[in-house]
Amino acid sequence: MKQLPTLGIIGGNGWLGSALGRSVLTHGLVAPDQLVVTTSRSGHHYQAWPEVTCVDSADALVELADVVIVSVRPEQFDTLSLSLEMRLVISLMAKVPISTLARATGSERIVRAMPNAAAAVGHSYTPWYATPEVASDERGWVHRLLSTCGPSDEVKEEAQIEYLTALTGSGPAFPALLADALISHAMTQGVSELVARRGVLHTLSGASQLMLEENTSPAQLVERFLDYGGTTTEGLNAMLDSGFRQAVHQGLDAAHEAARHTPY
């Protein structure tokens, strides 16, 4: 792979594509004049970098890019006609397996990566899988690229990407649901929305920091509070008795099933 490849993002003005595009620019992984993105109706996310090239079609992007990231919706992929035989292809799409990507692009050098919505603020967790044809220097570059928007790990089986699509790709929505349940309860108790929201969001991020920095597993923290015999113990026991774990596991099973269901 040449030292400074031109990067193209099909869907680079979308939710996830723009988050990645902006973070590679912010981290200097590619220079603005080495980035090409397709335009979209949803807006232009690169005002701060006027040298970024915006093109109106995937065909025009493919003319300019050495490495192509595909970040359209799974059901939109079918409308693309891509001839990328010699190119490294990085798909961010859920539901579209390597076999379909290889058939549609003609490339054997394919990476399936699964960032999440927190990429927009540099806090995604991004697992990725590469086909054996992706060289080790390219893997290093892909890792640096994906790590611009948060921690990133290579996994050795494509099936893990399908599962992690549900666990971490969809993941930010699940603590958001918990946060919403906590906030709406607080408001029924007369807590102002401002205090409820700040309290809940800082409690969730504080709990994550506590477990990360003290290297405490979530199971250990739960166990410690179950043994403590205080108010937290009462709250945890009531949630567990109401089927909290079963509800979470059913949700993950449903998301995993959806991730395995290719639209083609």
Ligand X SMILES: NC(=O)C1=CN([C@@H]2O[C@H](COP(=O)(O)OP(=O)(O)OC[C@H]3O[C@@H](n4cnc5c(N)ncnc54)[C@H](O)[C@@H]3O)[C@@H](O)[C@H]2O)C=CC1
Ligand Y SMILES: O=C(O)[C@@H]1CCC=N1
Q: Which is nearer to ligand X, 117 or 186 (CB)?
A: 117
Considering only residues 92 to 121 of the shown chain, the ones binding ligand Y according to CB under 6 A are 94
**237 annotated among ligand-binding-site residues:** no
Is 141 flagged in the annotation as binding?
no
14 is in an annotated binding site: yes
Q: Is 199 annotated as a binding residue?
A: no
Binding of ligand X by 126 (CB under 6 A):
no
Residues 170-209 that bind ligand Y (CB under 6 A): 170
150 carries a ligand binding annotation: no
> Using the rule CB under 6 A, is 40 a contact of ligand X?
yes
Residue matched to tokens 């008795």:
241
Residues with Cβ < 8 Å from 120, sequence gap 6 or more? 15, 19
Angle of the 136-147 helix axis to the 15-26 helix axis, nearest 10: 100
CA distances from 142 to 56, 136, 160, 223, 236 (A): 26, 10, 18, 39, 41
Q: Identify residues 158-197 at the interface with ligand X (CB under 6 A).
A: 169
Told to check if 165 binds ligand Y by CB under 6 A, we report yes
- 11 contacts ligand X (rule: CB under 6 A): yes
Taking a C-beta distance cutoff of 8 angstroms, is the pair 30, 49 a contact?
no
- Backbone phi and psi for residue 172, each to the nearest 5 degrees, phi listed first: -55, -25
Assess 94 for contact with ligand X (CB under 6 A).
Answer: yes
Please tell me whether residue 18 binds ligand Y under the rule CB under 6 A: no
Annotated binding-site residue? 203: no
Under the binding rule (CB under 6 A), the answer on residue 169 touching ligand Y is yes
CB-nearer residue toward ligand X: 186 or 258: 258
DSSP 8-state code for residue 145: H
Residue 173 beta carbon to ligand X: minimum distance, rounded to whole angstroms: 8
**CA pair distance 23, 51, nearest whole angstrom:** 16
DSSP string across 179-197: HHHHHHHHHHTT--HHHHH
How far is 134 from 101, CA to CA, in rounded Å? 14
Which residues share a beta bridge with 126?
A: 152
* Residue ranges that bind ligand Y, judged by CB under 6 A: 94, 165, 169-170
Applying CB under 6 A, the residues found at the interface with ligand X are 10-11, 13-17, 38, 40, 42, 58, 71-74, 76, 79-80, 92-94, 114-117, 169
Annotated binding site for NADP(+): 10-16, 39
